[in-house]
Structures are given as C-alpha cells and as structure tokens.
Amino acid sequence: MYEIGAADVSSNMLKNLVHEESTGKDVANYMTCANNGLNVLAVAMGKFTAIFKINMQTKKLEELQKFETDFSPIDACTNTLRWSSDNGGLAAGGEDKLVRLYKVAAPNDFKSPLKMVCELGGGHHEAINDIDISPNKTLLVSSGNDSQACVYDLRKKALVKKLTFRDKEYRDARGNTDDSNFTIRGCVFSGSSIFLLASKVRYKSFIVEFSINPSSTGSISFVPSSVVYVHDNGGTGLNLSPDGSQFAVTTNDGFIKIVEKDSSKVVLA
C-alpha cells in the first residue's frame, strides 16, 4: 500500500562544527529557532527557558533572559517550546501538564522580559511532549503522554477538543485485543489540518490527519481525514519542513523517516 524508498545523502553534510558552547549547569533538553530567519533560540533547560541570540560575528551565544516555565512540584521540566509564526509569542509545556503562553514585549525585542499572558489547562493529565500554534494564531494544539492531543481556541483561551487514535487491529503480547489509545508523540499544523504522530511501542507509528472545519456559527469541528503508516515501532517526534512539503519522524529504535506530505510516501529512512 505504501511505497518505501531511499535517497542518497551527501557525505559532507553537517561535516564542519562551527561552534560549541556550554549552557551552564542546566541541561538543554529542547530548543526551537525563531521564525523568519532570526538568529534567536528558545532553549528548555530543566524547569527554565532561556532565550539566546546567535552572534553571527563572534559565532557565540548571548543569553538574553531566563525564566521559569514549568512548576511541577516533582521533577519540574519544560519539555517543549514553540514560537508563534510572527515570533510575537512563545508557548511552553512540560511536566506540570499546563500550556503557558508568553508575549514578546515588542517586535524583535527578545531582551525585555517575556510576559506570561495565560495558562491553558483542563486538557492533559500527564506531561506535555509537544506544542504547535496555528499560522493565524487562533488555535494551539498540544500532545501528551496521556495518549491525547488537546486543541485550544486562543481567542477564547479555552479547550475545544481532545483528539485520540487507536488501531482496532492491534493485539497485545498474548494476542488479546487492546482498545487503549496510542500515545501522541508530536503535533503540527499544516494548511487547514492538524497532523499527529500516534505511536505504540513495539508495534507501529502513524501520522494521523484531522481536517479543521469552521462553521458559520463560530464552532469548529475536527474530522479524521487520513492515516499514514510510517514505522513498525514507536515514534518519538514529528516535525514539518519549512516549505510544508515533508514530515520528519524520529523513532525509539534509532530511525529518522522523511515522509512526503502530499503523496504519503516514505522517501528516506
């Protein structure tokens, strides 16, 4: 049903190390680049988030600010970050199961303290592992270790839908049916859809598409529209290329798979 292919990779890709620099005593466990070519990074470092600027002349990182973004009483950790499309806001999620939205003080001013504008709760009952913000900044989706993705309306600052996935053909180690939902390990907006990475360790991973359908009354429905099998084991992350044409899927057994969005073909594994 699916075509599996492989592409040649140039041997000199990512060959030269330009610079390396310690982030201090806090371990950097996640980072995201600002959009539109800005040399700014948001880096999750335990319960903190640090904003760095890349100085292209000195090839060094300049820490602009650092603030707490996860407040779990046990093992607090920020797991994921996402800039809005215009870099005017930053979303953070982690072990305390809440999404926090921060506002940049002024366009391209990443040195002034970011202001927290809201907390989005009521969705997850386990840690959040990924976040994305729609291009028009009206919706936010988060995925969690509780086997669901939560969609929030940013205009209302409210949860509007929970999305899940399961495979009726799945059987446990004893051959019994298992109706449990798959873990959602990634989420991304593209076009008028939300794409999720649904994963079951030692079984399969799928990219699942939900079409976003606004109604004339202002409500929004999310309709399952496609399922693409991408790997025969658990997946760990989902990303979309800058041009929106390809997905990258990472797996827990050491693979990176590139999937064409339009054709649903795995073109590199």
Q: Picking from 56-60, 65-69, 233-237, which range would have the lowest pLDDT averaged per residue?
A: 56-60
pLDDT > 80? residue 135: yes
Question: Higher pLDDT residue, 217 or 222?
Answer: 222
263 pLDDT band (50/70/90 cuts)? confident
Average pLDDT over residues 8-33: 66
Q: Are 228 and 220 in contact (CB under 8 A)?
A: no
Mean pLDDT value across the chain: 88
- What confidence category does residue 4 fall into, taking pLDDT thresholds of 50, 70 and 90? very low
Stretch 114-140: mean pLDDT: 95
Which residue's entry shows tokens 């990303």?
239
CA 61 to chain centre: 24
* Rg over CA atoms, the chain: 19
CB atoms within 10 A of CB 204: 19
- The torsion of the CA quartet 81, 93, 151, 236, rounded to 10 degrees, works out to 70
Mean pLDDT comparison of 17-31, 87-101, 211-225, highest-scoring range: 87-101
Instruction: Indicate the pLDDT class of residue 18, thresholds 50, 70 and 90.
Output: low
- Alpha-carbon 48 to chain mean position: 18
**Minimum mean pLDDT among 7-21, 114-128, 218-232: which range?**
7-21
Q: Is 185 exposed, middle or buried (0-12, 13-18, 19+ CB in 10 A)?
A: buried
Residue 174 is predicted with a pLDDT of 80
Average pLDDT for 82-110: 95
Residue at token pair 């996640």: 30
Is residue 241's pLDDT more than 60? yes
Mean pLDDT score, 91-113:
95
In angstroms, the CA 25 to CA 252 distance is 27
Lowest-confidence region among 73-77, 92-96, 217-221, 231-235 = 217-221
